[in-house]
Amino acid sequence: MAHAPGTMFELHPAFPATSEAVGDLPLCHARLQADARFAWLVLIPRVPGVRELDDLPVRDRAALVEEVVRAGAAVRAVGEALGRPIEKLNIGALGNVTPQLHVHIVGRRADDPAWPGPVWGFGTPQAYRLDAQDTALAAARTSLGL
Amino acid sequence: MAHAPGTMFELHPAFPATSEAVGDLPLCHARLQADARFAWLVLIPRVPGVRELDDLPVRDRAALVEEVVRAGAAVRAVGEALGRPIEKLNIGALGNVTPQLHVHIVGRRADDPAWPGPVWGFGTPQAYRLDAQDTALAAARTSLGL
């Protein structure tokens, strides 16, 4: 049987265009933002049709905040692996451009180009060198147990 | 007996300088950002010495996400009361400037001055007219049951 329309989780095409898959946690699909300026993960709850936090049931919201904490540890691990330890985490759920609910977990340093302002919409993303991207993905996966 | 240093919750002075008290939820102190451009609440967990989300215990994190949902409903109520219904909620925990853990819940509209970018660090806050601020505070308190 096919699923009814709208009942299957589908990733918005904006995510593959701007990030690399890290793997799946129990609730969320995790991705590494393709921007070497910042250690930056994105969590997308694998629940169809969700735009705002309160579109998720209470149980999923509690799971989401715990996966945000795990992603924060993974962002710190990425920063360490790249030789730029994280000084502050920034967490944001905006969705003004890409409506599918997603949470950004961004590692910040006082010497990063956007500090102390937010990263969203700031300047132009800088592609990772392939070896640095592999290092970042490996650090994120190890931290997340993936 | 005086409390030992660091064991009492104290509000960072940056909050009173930029926002008006709404009231206290079970975990968080809630404030209305003093910026008429956006329907905008700030939640500050009343826990001493907390800077990052993972400085809170798991139980408080689950409470926080539920208070963020309640604050989102209150932000929508503020938008309605001011005649500018909210189209999207933006949620952010940054803390690059003010280190005490706090969560912004911001009501966004496609016709607001920062859309679709983030509000943090955008332009200059615009003071509320006193009657509009009273309307916003009343709407927030009613929605939050305060």
Domains of chain B: total = 1
B111 contact A CB<8A: no
Cβ-contact A43, A105 below 8 angstroms: yes
Q: For residue B43, is it within any domain? A: yes
Instruction: Label residue B1 by pLDDT band (50, 70, 90).
Output: very low
Q: For residue B35, is it within any domain? A: yes
Span A83-107, pLDDT tens digits: 999 999 999 999 999 999 999 999 9
Span A128-145, pLDDT tens digits: 999 999 999 999 999 999
Sign of CA dihedral A19, A21, A22, A28: positive
Among B105, B120, B103, which Cα is nearest to B53's? B103
pTM equals 0.95
C-alpha A8: how far from chain center: 21
Q: For residue B53, is it within any domain? A: yes
In percent, the amount of chain A with pLDDT more than 70 equals 96
Q: For residue B88, is it within any domain? A: yes
* Range of the structural domain that residue B140 is part of: 14-19+26-119+126-144
Cβ-contact A69, A41 below 8 angstroms: no
To the nearest whole number, what is the mean pLDDT of chain A?
96
Q: For residue B8, is it within any domain? A: no
pLDDT at A125 over 90: yes
The domain that holds B103 is classified in CATH as 3.30.428.10
In percent, the amount of chain B with pLDDT more than 70 equals 96
A143 contact B CB<8A: no
* A residues 112-141 lying closer than 8 A (beta carbon) to B: 115-118, 120-121
Q: For residue A8, is it within any domain? A: no
Q: For residue B4, is it within any domain? A: no
Which among B53, B65, B116 is the nearest to A62, CB-wise? Answer: B65
Please tell me the predicted confidence (pLDDT) of residue A1.
45
Among A59, A4, A24, which Cα is nearest to A141's? A24
B-chain CB neighbours of A117 within 8 Å are: 96, 120-121
Residue A60 tokens read as: 């999923």
Span B109-119, pLDDT tens digits: 999 999 999 99
Q: For residue A2, is it within any domain? A: no
Span A12-41, pLDDT tens digits: 999 999 999 999 999 999 999 999 999 999
User: What's the average model confidence in pLDDT over B7-27?
Assistant: 96
Could you report how far apart the first and last alpha carbons of chain A are, in Å? 31
